[in-house]
Amino acid sequence: MTAEEKNIPKSYDPQAVEANRYEWWLEQNLFKATEEEGKESYSIVIPPPNVTGNLHMGHALNLSIQDALIRRKRMQGLNTLWLPGMDHAGIATQARVEAMLRQDGISRYDLGREKFLEKVWEWKEKYADTIRQQWSKLGISVDYSRERFTMDEGLSKAVRTVFVKLYDKGLIYRGKRIINWDPAQRTALSDIEVIYKDIQGKLYHMRYPFEDGSGAIEVATTRPETMLGDTAVAVHPEDERYQGMIGKLLDHPITGRKIPVIADEYVDKEFGTGVVKITPAHDPNDFEMGQRHNLEQIVVMNEAGQMNENADKYQGMDRFECRKQIVADLQEMGVLFKIEEHAHSVGHSERSGAVVEPFLSTQWFVKMQPLADAAIDLQKGDDAVNFVPDRFERTYLQWIENIRDWCISRQLWWGHRIPAWYCDHCGETIVTMDDPTSCTKCGHDALRRDEDVLDTWFSSALWPFSTMGWPEQTKDLDTFYPTSVLVTAYDIIFFWVARMIFSALEFTDKKPFEDVLIHGIVRAEDGRKMSKSLGNGIDPLDVIEKYGTDALRFMLLNGTAPGNDQRFQFERVESARNFANKIWNASRFVMMNLGEDFTYQGANGFAKLGTAEKWILHRLNATIQDVNARMEVYDFGGAGSAIYEFLWNEYCDWYIELAKMPLNGDDAQAKSTTLNVLVYVLDQSLRLLHPFMPFITEEIWQALPSTAAGASIVTASYPAFDAKWEDAQAEKEMGLLMDIIRSIRNTRAEMNVPPSRPITLLIKAKDSDTEAILTRGESYIRRFCNPEALTISTDVAVPEKAVSNVVTGAELFLPLAGLIDIDAEIARLEKEKKKLDGEVERIEKKLNNQGFVAKAPAEVIETEKAKLADYADKRATVISRIEELRG
């Protein structure tokens, strides 16, 4: 049956190839984890996407990498698990739902906690569906039977267990601290949720008068509105300028409060006037100084960033409005005498973008030092987590070595509610697994649960083991934990990777993963980040619709250099799509030639292997070795290129062309061998490529005569290197023949002799060995070069008028009647000679260098000598040809 009869379209159509295939895989249960006794395990937990919206190009890259890894290991026969799931993403999701409600003029307070949470769950279900839809489009082979959500019952239990254990151990505490406050979301943030941006601000210089009328002291501030909470002014204890003033009282210019001048080492004498106003409730450094000097903490704002009752006449104003007003008032009073431009960085909320306010409030914290110490010990020991690329280990260590306590309470509703209750009767705090009904201390039932929820990352930190059933001791934990590798972008090393490591050490006594593979981000074509605000994001689904999932995946994986960013370019997707088309057509060629009576026998059918067959099998084997080696070290770009080059430049460009001879010839055995080789190599190549391009490889594989009925490439064995296919002789012979063929094509092109015009071709072999190779390959030369007469010999009668070319081992002559200009030919050969002169000279210089001969490794010297002999040989041939022509 021919390809036309089978209706194989001439062009690859990704839509047709990819339709329904994913569902078919799922029906066959091919992605379900296997847990067979005695088999090695390989597991990955997905970095759970937020249920806030659609997956972006970064997800597509992240998932393509993981899928390539897990598909290969699955094909290699390991027990594999790729566990999918999603993250509730506290602040992000709540913000999205609140924004949605706001369009209807509803606030979360209008609904109340319970009703509001119902809305969020609805939202979550909707987006979870969208995400699953996108996963299926990307073709990722996750085990849906194990899908988890961070707020599942099981995972919630894990969270509560961890909270209670850490609390009981004294590693979780509640305290009144300066934290990063997001006035837009009205919640506390952890340090890493604050993004610092450089802002051109202003530095305001003011005079605070001494109460005794003895002049004034000059202070500078960037945030004049906080002066309402000033409770001191500080100078450096050794600053001569202010020695007499320490301890004196000042009249605060606005509040009239009497505030002291204090001395503290923290103050930088060089900055500004060397005097700082101290606002303990609104600045972390001032807070610490305030504690050292027992200063009063006056909070002057409310949770929304508006001035509160401590702000006198400014009460009710927004903080920035207040700044303007205070500046105006102070200028009028003559207190503010100078405004300078001042560049400084200002913290913004990662989620809402609001300017973060350092804010004094009562929050829950994780005491980090003991947890960090364990993580550091692990990394300094023999069983460290393997970061790929390893430079990220330094990034990680630097952070964990300088870690500060982690603020984990959030004033939100969407999330894991903190399992703490307060007794209104005796004031006791109760932290427990089960909801208490009465106070453990006084027995009273006037219990009030803490309103706050936990930082999203608190639950994410448990992901590798909570998803497998922890704190229960499950079979999944036995088989698949610790996981093999965690794949993520570098932007969440601190948020997530670090926290998983110390959590896992604390609660499972094991590191959560052997390797951490850190990849870059996918940037827009111009190198900028893809972002919603810039509107330069590219939706993976749009790309898939036009070019197919396989093209997108291959482009993303092939562009991956470990840890480096890549730019998204449509030309690169197009190139990947063209590759898919090339494979499609090569396969189509194979199908078209199979014929009704052909029975695939695999290697048993290799009865009459020619040089080309031996060569392609050798090259396939070398490619398999290369690809496997590269995949083991996460070199997806290298592995992808190796397959690309093999399939396109060797299988298609050379082997298929050469195969046409036996396929169209009379030798039934040669024809059958060729078909077996064509199918075998294609089959193996498809398996090799399957982790990169799952759809097209399955589609073609299903049509191959080598495929057993009902089998899927998903669980076919992955190709492995086998020394029996190594064939140096075939490599050498094909190398020589390819050199000659290319050389002739080159001459034809340069002399404008079209391929359709037959030529006379004389090949002078260097020795009888080479002559034998060329004679064996005569049909190959005929196939590509269209000679009307072909002479191969160690001794050919060279016509006077002929273009000559020299390759390693042979000299070629093309007597092209009417086209040869002797002078031009001499000039061309002179140019060739000059090139060879350069090569010879370079290597001679090297070999004449005593230092080189004495110190370079023997094999390097040998290859240099061989190169020299080859170049010198070629040069001698060219010279003698020039002399012949000159007569």
Q: How far is CA 213 from CA 208, 248, 249, 333, in A?
A: 11, 11, 10, 16
Minimum distance from CB of 581 to RNA (Å)? 3
Kindly report whether the peptide bond that precedes residue 482 is cis, defined as omega within 30 degrees of 0: yes
List, in sequence order, every residue forming a beta bridge with 627; answer none if it has no partner. none
Which of 532, 724 has the CB closer to RNA? 532
Residue 512 found at the interface with RNA (CB under 7 A): no
C-beta of residue 445 within 8 angstroms of C-beta of residue 426: no
Give the residue, chosen from 228, 262, 275, 400, that forms a contact with RNA under the rule CB under 7 A. Answer: 275
Give the residue, chosen from 128, 184, 652, 751, that forms a contact with RNA under the rule CB under 7 A. Answer: 652
Minimum distance from CB of 588 to RNA (Å)? 4
Residue 7 found at the interface with RNA (CB under 7 A): no
User: Per CB under 7 A, which of residues 315..354 are in contact with RNA?
Assistant: 342, 344-345, 347
User: Per CB under 7 A, which of residues 70..109 are in contact with RNA?
Assistant: none
> If DSSP codes are grouped into helix, strand and coil, which group holds residue 387?
strand
Query: Sign of the C-alpha dihedral, residues 278, 284, 289, 294?
Result: positive
724 half-sphere exposure, CB direction, 13 A CA radius: 2
Longest C-alpha distance within the chain, in Å? 120
Give the residue, chosen from 171, 267, 773, 810, that forms a contact with RNA under the rule CB under 7 A. Answer: 267
Which of 219, 714 has the CB closer to RNA? 219
Residue 660 found at the interface with RNA (CB under 7 A): yes
Distance CA 278, CA 626 (A): 64
Residue 683 found at the interface with RNA (CB under 7 A): no
Give the residue, chosen from 107, 569, 669, 791, that forms a contact with RNA under the rule CB under 7 A. Answer: 569
Residue 849 found at the interface with RNA (CB under 7 A): yes
CB atoms closer than 10 angstroms to residue 321: 14
Residue 203 found at the interface with RNA (CB under 7 A): yes
Distance CA 712, CA 25 (A): 8
Residue 745 found at the interface with RNA (CB under 7 A): yes
Minimum distance from CB of 525 to RNA (Å)? 7
Residue 220 found at the interface with RNA (CB under 7 A): yes
Give the residue, chosen from 852, 872, 873, 879, that forms a contact with RNA under the rule CB under 7 A. Answer: 852
> If DSSP codes are grouped into helix, strand and coil, which group holds residue 70?
helix
Residue 600 tokens read as: 């695939």
Minimum distance from CB of 880 to RNA (Å)? 20
Minimum distance from CB of 65 to RNA (Å)? 15
C-beta of residue 814 within 8 angstroms of C-beta of residue 803: yes
Residue 223 found at the interface with RNA (CB under 7 A): yes
Task: Choose the stretch contacting RNA; rule: CB under 7 A; options: 10-18, 142-150, 178-186, 537-545.
Answer: 10-18
C-beta of residue 887 within 8 angstroms of C-beta of residue 859: no
Which of 156, 641 has the CB closer to RNA? 641
H/E segment holding residue 583:
helix 570-594
Buried b / exposed e over 380-408, threshold 16 CB at 10 Å, is: eeeeebebbeeebbebbbeebeebebbbb
Give the residue, chosen from 24, 121, 210, 399, that forms a contact with RNA under the rule CB under 7 A. Answer: 399
User: Per CB under 7 A, which of residues 858..887 are in contact with RNA?
Assistant: 860, 864, 867, 870-871
C-beta of residue 279 within 8 angstroms of C-beta of residue 248: no
Which of 131, 744 has the CB closer to RNA? 744
Minimum distance from CB of 226 to RNA (Å)? 9
Minimum distance from CB of 290 to RNA (Å)? 14
Buried b / exposed e over 180-216, threshold 16 CB at 10 Å, is: bbbbbbbbbbbebbbeeeeeeeeebbbbbeeeeeeee
Distance CA 600, CA 187 (A): 68
Residue 567 found at the interface with RNA (CB under 7 A): yes
Residue 814 tokens read as: 């093309």
Q: Which residues contact 476 (CB under 8 A, 6 or more apart)?
A: 33, 35, 81, 146, 468, 469
Cβ contacts of 776-780, under 8 Å, gap ≥ 24: 776/611, 776/733, 777/611, 777/733, 777/736, 777/737, 779/661, 780/611, 780/612, 780/658, 780/737, 780/741
Strand-pair category, 336-349 with 194-209: antiparallel
Give the residue, chosen from 586, 609, 693, 816, that forms a contact with RNA under the rule CB under 7 A. Answer: 586
Which of 153, 341 has the CB closer to RNA? 341
Minimum distance from CB of 637 to RNA (Å)? 5
Task: Choose the stretch contacting RNA; rule: CB under 7 A; options: 96-104, 171-179, 261-269, 372-380.
Answer: 261-269
Give the residue, chosen from 191, 428, 837, 873, that forms a contact with RNA under the rule CB under 7 A. Answer: 191
Minimum distance from CB of 616 to RNA (Å)? 13
User: Per CB under 7 A, which of residues 618..637 are in contact with RNA?
Assistant: 637
Task: Choose the stretch contacting RNA; rule: CB under 7 A; options: 653-661, 711-719, 791-799, 812-820.
Answer: 653-661
Residue 755 found at the interface with RNA (CB under 7 A): yes
Number of shown-chain residues binding RNA (CB under 7 A): 88
Give the residue, chosen from 575, 706, 760, 794, that forms a contact with RNA under the rule CB under 7 A. Answer: 575
Minimum distance from CB of 774 to RNA (Å)? 18
Give the residue, chosen from 846, 872, 873, 879, that forms a contact with RNA under the rule CB under 7 A. Answer: 846
> If DSSP codes are grouped into helix, strand and coil, which group holds residue 661?
helix
Residue 5 found at the interface with RNA (CB under 7 A): no
Residue 240 found at the interface with RNA (CB under 7 A): no
